[in-house]
Structure 1
Amino acid sequence: MRSNVWFRQVHRWLSIVFTVAVIANFVAMGLGEPPPWIVYAPLPPLFVLMFTGLYMFAIPYAARWRGSKA
């Protein structure tokens, strides 16, 4: 049960980081040609968000498959 809480916390904080990176990307594009590190900054949090989201999506199905009531 502890790992579920940890995954949810990581997912929440990474969503904030991702949102800030996307906003910074739009602001930088509005000011001219942005450097590559700003353009690609949203990608690492996005990939981690994808994996944590898929894990949280699969938790109820895995619990049902194992026969427990979650």
Structure 2
Amino acid sequence: MNAGTVLRRAHRFVAVVFTLTVIANFVAMAFGEPPALVVYSPLLPLFLLLFTGLYLFVQPYVTRWRGGRNLRATE
């Protein structure tokens, strides 16, 4: 398993965690003013999603720039 596969799986896992923290935030807001821990809990997964997503977005371009294999199917 290479680093790209591990990072892609981690990105998916963090996306689920982020979604659950946002849902928990809205549920807590339905019952009044939530504590600061609940309000700011989605920020850590959000930043992890930002960095892993940017890496996954740029990865094919860097591979092509370095002269790696062509990612598109050859005709």
Provide the TM-score with structure 2 as the length reference: 0.90
Number of matched pairs: 70
Higher-Rg structure is 2
Runs of 4+ in 1 over 4 A off after TM superposition: none
Q: Note the C-alpha offset of 1:65.
A: 0.5
Partner of 2:5: 5
Q: Which runs of 5+ in 1 are unaligned?
A: none
Q: Note the C-alpha offset of 1:61.
A: 0.4
For 1:11 and 1:58, locate their aligned partners in 2 and report how far apart those are by CA, in whole Å.
14
Percent identity (aligned): 56
Partner of 1:24: 24
Q: Note the C-alpha offset of 1:52.
A: 0.3
Q: Which has the higher helix share?
A: 1
For 2:4 and 2:15, locate their aligned partners in 1 and report how far apart those are by CA, in whole Å.
16
- Give the RMSD, CA atoms, in angstroms: 1.0
- Aligned pair 1:58/2:58, yes or no? yes
Q: Note the C-alpha offset of 1:44.
A: 0.2
Q: Note the C-alpha offset of 1:26.
A: 0.3
Q: Which runs of 5+ in 2 are unaligned?
A: none
